[in-house]
Every structure is written in structure tokens, then in C-alpha cells.
Amino acid sequence: MRRLVFFTAVALLAAGLVVTRESARPAAAAAVVSATPRDPAAEARGRDADIALFERRIGEDPESAADRARLGALYLRRARETGNYADVTRAADQAERSLALRESHNEATWGLLASVRLAQHDFTGALEAAQALVAADSTNAVSRATEGEILLELGRYDEAAARFATVEQVPASLALAPRLARWYEITGRLDRAVLMARNTVRLARATDGLSAEQQAWFLMRTGDLEAKRGRASAADLLYDSALAAHPGDYRVLAARARLAAQRGAWRGAIAAGDSAIGVQLDPGTLGVLRDAWLALDDSSQSASYAAAMTASALTQPGAIHRAWGLHLVNRGEQLGEVLRRVRRELQSRHDVYGYDLEAWTLHAMGRDRAAARSMQQALRAGTEDAVLWYHAGVIAAAVGDSADARGHLERALALNPSFGVDEVEAARALLARLRSPSGAADASSAASSAASSAASSAASSAASSAASAVVGRR
């Protein structure tokens, strides 16, 4: 019952362990990783057998740093596949014990610990582990990219750019390419991110020994990027391929539910979402289901999902589950609580999506001048995300900046003309007012009530759904 988005980051980091660290592992551990791919059920049985094997080995030799590292990696793999957060805690314990036994010549375990800290929403701890990884071998491109990726999540974009600049010309690998794609995505180069992600899929298909879960993850991430630029059909095909590789993958099913919600395909969103939460009660997916049932005029079902969403969100690591927070803001609910939580997170994590959530919450509270200041921070990386630019346009209109409001809303619709049923309609209506000779003043008033208006619409989940793939993403 922990947040889906952190296993995304974990998958990136763990890919580095699987693909690039074979030579650092003992022969027995390497053999487990490089086994011929099997069907998902067989892989799961093999994974659990490997876990049992290394648990026995540690029982026999508790001083083996290598065995503890391998066991931790297996726990983390199972966490990604099943959504079981208890395995993240187990992975953290084994990584810490391995490093306590031996820090030198144990680079892969620093990478494992960085992955675990991300899953625990401990970005500072993740960065410390990544920096130790770089210190152990500063020539390793994947290590530098790992540090860069965590700096991205902390909102330290200049530092992240410096790390990525040193690896951008290195030949692509499964461990490196997804991190570069993430950098391009955050820094306003979405088309380039998609190209890099599609290259990653080609690399994955050509890589022997890659698990079904990993194959599905690379396909899903590419689908997410295609969805962000409004290419729903391309995203659907990629999600189909991901589910063919790893049937029942809860992450892919959740992505499919989000995409269906963006298009107002509520029955499809329910079918995919219910399948996803059968494995993991992700708050973002529960929010989609809440809105889907409300759109279908079933307030009782909607209320049950709302209760489950909040119960799940409050068990998450960190100050706030962002998809949950954005969902509440779109509904005009618990605004003070959302603002308190997001500001607590912003004390250490200064990324664009944290500022976006702060800005949108302030706007919903009628504090538009403060919202505009936060929105400037949310736009500073030039991230090509229609939800960000829609929020910016509404807030600019609310403070009377008609020129910026028009530009931001036009950009949102150009980036993704189908980023959310209700939001697209609201953006077009607001643009029409802004473009009319006498409509600028009316537009300011309309924008000031945009959040509360969205709260009354069942389709308001589109913004939270789209953003959960981004904001909540890591």
C-alpha cells in the first residue's frame, strides 16, 4: 500500500544494478540475475526460491556482505513486482547491514541503498548513498547519472545538469538511457525524452535475462511519455505490450486507468483501476476510481473509494502523497492540510511539482498572488507538462495577467489537447474569454473560481491523474 511512483525510481536504479554490476557480484549471485527469462509466474517462483536461498546463506554466514546485498536486491525486486512495502524495509535492513560489514568494494550496495531511500521517500538519504557510489568510482557513468537523477527529484536542476552533461555522450545502456530520458522530460525536452525512452525499449528487447517486470516497466514509461504529449493511441499500444510482457502488472494497469480517465472513458478506467488496486492500493488510482464512479452517478461507490484513498495516502512515506493532495485540491477538500504537508516537503525537496501543488492549493484558497509566486518556481525548468501550464494559465488570469494567461493556456493545449476532459474544457472556455475584447476582467473572476468549479465535476480527476504520473512519480 505504498506509492507507485517510488517503485518507478527504484526500477531505474535497480536496472543499473542488474545490467551494469554483474562483474562486482559473486558468481552465485550473478547466475541468479542472468538466468534465461521465464513467464512471470515462473519468475516469481524463482525469485522467491532465490530469496529463501540467500536467507539460508545469511543464517549460515551472517558476516557475508555480498549475500546480504544480494538478498536486499531480491527483496527490492519483489517490492517492485508486488507493491509490498514491507520488502522495501527488508531491503533497507540488508543494504545497511552489508555496508556495515564492508563499505569498500561494495559499490552495488550503495546503489541498492539509494533505491531503497527513494522508495522510503528519503531523498536526502538517497543522495548521500548515490554520492558514496560516485566516490567509490567517479569514472562510472551510471553512478554519475544516478546522482543526477536524485538531484532532479530534489529540484537541484543546475547540479543535475552538470552530472548529466558528463554522461550524455556515453553510449546508451539500460542503466543510463532511462535516467537521461527523465532529465529531458523534466527540463522541457519531451520529444527527446520519448526518443530516448523508445531506444530504451529497443535495448530491453535485445537484452538477455531481463525479467518480465523490467520489460513491462520500460514499455510503461515510454507509454507514459507518449500520453503526456497527447498520443493516447501510441500510449495504449505500449501499455498493451507491457501487459503482454507482464500480465496483471499493477503499475501498467494504473497507467491505463489514468489514461482512460483523461479521455472520460470511465468504465475503462474502473476496469483497469480495480485490477490495479487488487495488487496495490495506490492513492492516485483510488482517486481515479472515485471520480469515475461519481461521473457514473454512483455516489456510494465514489465515497467508498474516497475513504480508501485517504486511508492509503496517510500510510505513505514522506510528508505528502502528491496525487492525493492534488485530487483533494481539485475537489476543494482539506486545503489547509494539503498546504501544510506540501510546504513541509518543500523544505527539503524543491522540485517543480512540489511548487505546482503549492501554487494550485493557494489558488484554491483564493491566495492568488502567493500562488503566482509559487507557480514561477513550478515553471522554471520549462517542463513540458500540460497540467503545469494549465495551472499557470488559470493563476495568471486570476491575478489579471491576461497575456501570460493566454500564452500558458495555449501552451497547455498545444502540448496535450486531451490532458483532461474537464480541464481542457475549462482551458478553452477561459481562453475564449481572454481573447474577447471585453472578457479579460471576466476571465480573472472565472479563473479565481476554477479550482472550486473543477471540484464539482466528476472529470476533475484528469488533472490529478495526469499529474500522478509526474508529480507523484517520484
Domain CATH for 395: 1.25.40.10
Note the pLDDT tens digit of each residue in 400-452: 999 999 999 999 999 999 999 999 999 999 999 999 876 655 666 656 555 45
Indicate whether 170 and 90 sit together in one domain: yes
Cα distance between residue 333 and residue 364, in whole Å: 10
Give residue-wise pLDDT tens across range 138-159.
Answer: 999 999 999 999 999 999 999 9
Which of 203 and 14 is assigned the larger pLDDT? 203
100 lies in which domain range?
A: 4-247
Query: 199 and 58: one domain?
Result: yes
pLDDT digits (tens, 9 = 90+) for 397-406: 999 999 999 9
From 247, 271, 299, give the residue that closes a domain: 247
Same domain, 53 and 187: yes
Residue 264 lies in a domain: no
The better pLDDT of the pair 308, 457 is held by: 308
For residues 450 and 423, what is the distance between their CA atoms, to the nearest angstrom? Answer: 9
Are residues 346 and 445 both part of a single domain?
yes
Mean pLDDT of all residues in 310-334: 94
> Do 241 and 356 share a domain, yes or no?
no
Same-domain pairing of 16 and 165: yes
Same domain, 327 and 405: yes
In a domain, 42, yes or no: yes
The verdict on 224 and 360 lying in the same domain is no
Map residue 252 onto helix, strand or coil.
helix
- Residue 125 within any structural domain of the chain: yes
Q: How many domains does the chain have?
A: 2
Give the pLDDT confidence score for residue 6 in this predicted structure.
Answer: 39
Residue 311 lies in a domain: no
**Are 241 and 330 part of one and the same domain?**
no
- The CA distance from 428 to 406, in Å, is 10
Q: Where a domain ends, among 212, 247, 282? A: 247
Q: Are residues 326 and 212 in the same domain?
A: no
Residue 295 domain-assigned? no
> Which of 65-79, 85-99, 300-314, 431-445 comes out lowest in average pLDDT?
431-445
Q: Tell me: do 61 and 197 sit in the same domain.
A: yes
Nearest to 451 by CA among 359, 329, 344, 368: 329
Last residue of a domain, one of 202, 222, 247: 247
Average pLDDT, stretch 208-221? 94
pLDDT band at 39 (very low <50, low <70, confident <90, very high): confident
In this structure, the answer to whether residues 242 and 136 fall within a common structural domain is yes
pLDDT at 464 over 60: no
Q: What's residue 444's pLDDT?
A: 62
Q: Is residue 388 part of a domain?
A: yes
Q: Answer whether residue 294 is part of any domain.
A: no
- 308 lies in some domain: no
